Amino acid sequence: MDFLVNSDIVIRLLAALVLGFLLGLERELTNKYAGLRTHILVCLGACVFTIISIYGFPTYATGDNVIVDNATGVRDTARVAAQIVTGIGFIGAGTVLRNGPMVIGLTTAATLWISASIGMACGVGCFDIAILATVLSVAVLTLIRIFERRILPGGIKRTKRFKVTVYCNRIDADKVHEYLAHAVENMVDFSAKRLIENPDKAKISSTFELSHKKLMNEIYDKLTELCTPDSVTLQELND
């Protein structure tokens, strides 16, 4: 089969590219670890491997009963494609991070997994399944987030994980710890490390949970007032 002039192959590859783009767009807009390029490449790569699995290993004879020189005699169309399911796990594992008892990045890993399956669907020409899976995946990523925030009662999926990093005078570390212990709902960890280049300064890090993101502004203002830090960095850790 001449891949360069076969329009059906081109359509499958373009479909995988477009659907991978749509799935990765949501991750990109929400500033997650794996965004547009990663999802496009995963979806496109899965499509390519699936096409190779189907057409890349001819049997003894072609459709016209002509012997093929490089034929193997056996064509298992699932052999290469099956490895995509396990192989994508290595990429997904790179997006999952563990911070103490917390695990983040699982949703992004799941989108890479579904992106590979969409690419495989494009590779076998099941465009209806691929399109429907993309629409449903984007709907889950967007609409379910709104549902969690606006519909579910307080206390269920309403807390957000945050990390704060403060560079300030080392003598102010106790004041920062005391304030955070009372200001946040669940402080997972707290550390204060003296800077090698300046022993009088310290890097303070803490991970905690809050029910309302707007409270971060209050925490930021209070920290700048409390210890006059050199810098304060606030980061949301949710998927």
- Continuous H helices in 153-214: 173-183
Residue 182 domain flag: yes
Question: Residue 85: pLDDT above 70?
Answer: yes
- Are residues 167 and 228 both part of a single domain? yes
Lookup: tokens for 124: 């076998």
pLDDT in tens, 184-222: 877 878 888 888 888 888 898 888 877 766 677 888 888
- Are residues 132 and 221 both part of a single domain? no
**102: confidence class by pLDDT, cuts 50, 70, 90:** low
Domain boundary among 101, 121, 150: 150
Residue 155 domain flag: no
**73: confidence class by pLDDT, cuts 50, 70, 90:** low
- Are residues 196 and 138 both part of a single domain? no
Which amino acid makes up residue 150? R
Q: What count of residues does the chain have?
A: 239
Backbone region of residue 31 per phi and psi (left: phi > 0; alpha: psi in -120 to 50; beta: other values): left
Question: Residue 157: pLDDT above 80?
Answer: no
Specify the pLDDT at position 11. Answer: 92
* Whole-number Å distance between alpha carbons of 39 and 20: 5
Residue 45 domain flag: yes
What domain range includes position 227?
Answer: 160-236
Provide the terminal-to-terminal Cα distance of the chain, rounded to the nearest Å.
Answer: 43
Residue with tokens 């999802």: 39
Specify the pLDDT at position 154. Answer: 52
* Whole-number Å distance between alpha carbons of 54 and 107: 31
- Are residues 115 and 211 both part of a single domain? no
Question: Residue 239: pLDDT above 70?
Answer: no
- Are residues 186 and 136 both part of a single domain? no
What are the CA-CA distances from residue 155 to residues 148, 151, 158, 209, 212 (Å)?
A: 10, 12, 6, 12, 11
204: domain CATH number is: 3.30.70.260
Specify the number of domains making up the chain: 2
Lookup: tokens for 134: 């993309």
Q: Which position has the higher pLDDT, 156 or 182?
A: 182
pLDDT in tens, 110-141: 888 999 999 999 999 999 999 999 999 999 98
